Structure 1
Amino acid sequence: MTFKIIEITPMLIPYGVNTSRRAPRPLNERQKDYVENYDYKTVFYDIFYSENNVCMVGPNLRNLESIINIGKWSINGFLRRDEPKFKSMWKVDNVSFELNYGELSGNPVNQFGVSCGWLDCDGKIQPNESAIFSGKKVLVSINKNNNLACIKDWIIFYQRTHGIDAVLLYDNDSTEYTMYELLDVIKDIEGIDVGVVVPWVCVKILPLVILFFNVLVFMLINTIYMFNYCLKTSCEKKFLNLKLKKIRA
């Protein structure tokens, strides 16, 4: 039996960098929460080893592709002289480097580095753990704050009706419970001998900027209101004093 939480290596555009993925949808076709929910800053969701390749998977790069292409990449500390290969799919881009003989015959491939101006970072190349699900009938889904009892009933239904014996859940930053609690639910179900939870979290910068902007606007409006109030009060006092002087006269 295997029950675990998978570690991922995301790559994000850093805070303070004035570069973002261009949104594909025209302004006149965007719903009210489009800007808030669109992922402007994630470059790759995960970086991992697969079939003699280092693979980087993320949302469509769009305008970021040229920047990634000219970046200086290294694997296990050695600079790559070739350019990465790009494969674009529906809402997903796969960027990869094919490993050479020296990289495959040497130390395990586990570190990458990249430098392309605004993006200068390194990190761990995650192992390919797809073998966990070899020969399994797998139930796959994305979860965010769904009731744990409902999740358990849902898995039990698929186990009894369709004979699944493995569960793969991508947890989209649930706040009602931890990933360990979610994994415990999977463990408790009879007939399930493989359960994996993947933390699928995207850090979005833009909503914070919008919030900050809204706070500034509120403060500005409040300041103008207080200024007008003070000015009005001051004028009323002057008018009252003038009126009292006339009455006394």
Structure 2
Amino acid sequence: MIALSSIALDPASGLRRESPRPPELRNAAYDAGFDWDTLFYDCYRAGRYVVLQGPPFLNLLPALQASAPLKPRWFGGPRYVVRNKRGEIWCRHDGDMLTLSGPVGTYQLTIQPDQASLFAGRRVIHTLSKDNTPRWIRDWLQFYQAEHGADAALVYDNGSRLYSAADLQTELRAAFPAMVIHVVPWPFRYGPQGGLAGAVNGVEAPWDSDFCQTGSMAHARLRFLRDAKSVLNVDIDELVLSDKGRSIFEATEATRHGFIKFPGQWISGASPDPIDHEPCRHADFTHRALAETRECPPKWCVVPARHDPFGTTWSVHNLFGSRHNRVIDSEFSYRHMTAISNSWKENRGIAGQFDPAGYREDRALVAAFARAGLASHN
């Protein structure tokens, strides 16, 4: 299994991360979900550098800059990245251990290896997942292997309780022996929601405190995926299709800028046949509700080597810093499967009624399921 060198702030330091959100937009749920004390998610090599990576440093930055060996110097000193929900320190350091000492506290960190070679030249699907049923993850892998030629997967497990990251990795590798598959344990607080989901007294909250998923993408990019041929960022409930039958990986690699951003559309949890949520599969759901008004924020595929890791940031729906980030492709779109969810964020699942007049079958999705060898469990 992949090992992390993560550390939490020592209470004896008297420090903790201050919230970026004003008190009037915080409540007990916010306080329970905010990551007050993770200093670094991991410490690892990335090429010539050692990267100490964590949530945004915020008020902790002065204490870090006053700690050895991280004190800024004019030449050869550490480089800090503090934007777009990122907190990174890039430095040069020999040896296998790094001792951090100063106002932030004293810590011994094992420097984890650079593992970009694991995915070099691979077409990788990447996601963050928690307690998703393994059969859903298998179907997701099978779809992308068959439909788009994915030959590797990097799954970050955000503290699942139903299985361990090691057990999930073993199961997926047994099911897909031709793919390179790694499951990274990522047991950090996801962070409070923004928008209506994080509203306090009816006032929508900003998206300013959900550090975990952006952190997992930065970690994936820097430690594992720098030399990947291309990387697709999608969730377990999201299936990408092309109007022209092309692979999203091949299409992205063929672009001059190495980046494609595409929209999504919801697939209803309603079905003409009775479906139970417990055994349901992606292929059980193939209809769009004509009255659907929810929007699906875009997702993306990227060629990592064509984008500067200091100037651009991988985020859930964006490649921040890229001048191509605002361009939405019209050939590709993803199907967002309403019922393929454990409803961690909102109530999702099987729709109780199916009126044929209110739904339209997504024939392209039906055909893709057939090509991938995925069928309804009925």
Q: Specify every segment of 5 or more residues in structure 1 that has no aligned partner in the other structure, as ranges.
A: 75-80, 104-108, 205-249
Deviation at 1:34, TM superposition (A): 1.4
Q: Determine which structure has the larger helix proportion and give its number.
A: 1
Paired residue for 1:59, among 37, 55, 58? 55
What is the CA-CA distance between 1:17 and the residue it aligns to?
A: 4.5
Counterpart residue number, 1:231: none
Structure 2 equivalent of residue 238 of structure 1: none
Deviations 1:26-61 (A, max 9, x none): 123336521111101011101011121111111110
* Contact persistence 1:11–1:42 (CA under 8 A): yes
Residue matched to 1:85:
79
The match for 1:167 is 153
| CA-CA distance at 1:70 after TM superposition | 0.6
Tell me, yes or no, if structure 1 residue 73 matches structure 2 residue 69.
yes
Q: Structure 2: how far apart are the matches of 1:88 and 1:203? A: 19
What whole-Å deviation, never above 9, does each CA across 1:155-199 have from its counterpart, x for those lacking one? 111111111111101111111111121002221233642111111
Determine if contact 2:67/2:104 at 8 Å carries over to the other structure.
no
Contact residue 73 and residue 115 of structure 1 kept, 8 A: yes
Distance in 1 of aligned mates of 2:30 and 2:137: 28
- Whether the aligned pair in 2 keeps the contact of 1:10 and 1:44 (CA below 8 Å) is yes
Task: Report whether the alignment pairs 1:127 with 2:79.
Answer: no
Partner of 1:235: none
* Contact 2:13 2:103 (8 Å CA) reproduced: no
How far does the alpha carbon of each residue in 1:114-162 deviate from its partner, in whole angstroms, 9 at most, with x for none? 1113511112100110111011011111111111111111111111111
Find the structure with the greater CA-based Rg.
1
In structure 2, runs of 5+ residues without a counterpart are: 191-378
Query: Which residue does 1:215 correspond to in 2?
Result: none
Question: 1 CA distance for matches of 2:170 and 2:100?
Answer: 37
Equivalent in 25, 32, 50 of residue 46 of structure 2: 50
- 1:220 corresponds in structure 2 to none
Could you tell me which amino acid in structure 2 is paired with residue 52 of structure 1? R
- 1:165/1:191 contact within 8 Å kept: no
Give TM-score, length-normalised by structure 1. 0.69
2-structure distance, mates of 1:85, 1:45: 17
Distance 1:51 1:130 in 2: 9
Give the distance between the partners of 2:163 and 2:11, measured in 1 at CA: 28
Give the conservation status (yes or no) of the 8 Å contact 2:153–2:181.
Answer: yes
Q: Which residue of 2 aligns with 1:225?
A: none
Please state how far the C-alpha of 1:14 moved relative to its aligned partner: 2.0
Amino acid at match of 2:59: N
CA distance in 2, matches of 1:192, 1:15: 46
Structure 1 moving runs of 4+ over 4 Å: none
Partner of 1:214: none
Distance, in Å, in 2 between the alignment partners of 1:85 and 1:70 is 14
Instruction: Label 1:68 to 1:82 Cα distance change in 2 as closer, same or farther (>3 A).
Output: farther
- The residue aligned with 2:140 is 154
Structure 1 residue 16 displacement after superposition: 5.1
Task: Find the aligned partners of 1:192 and 1:92 in 2 and give their Cα distance.
Answer: 34
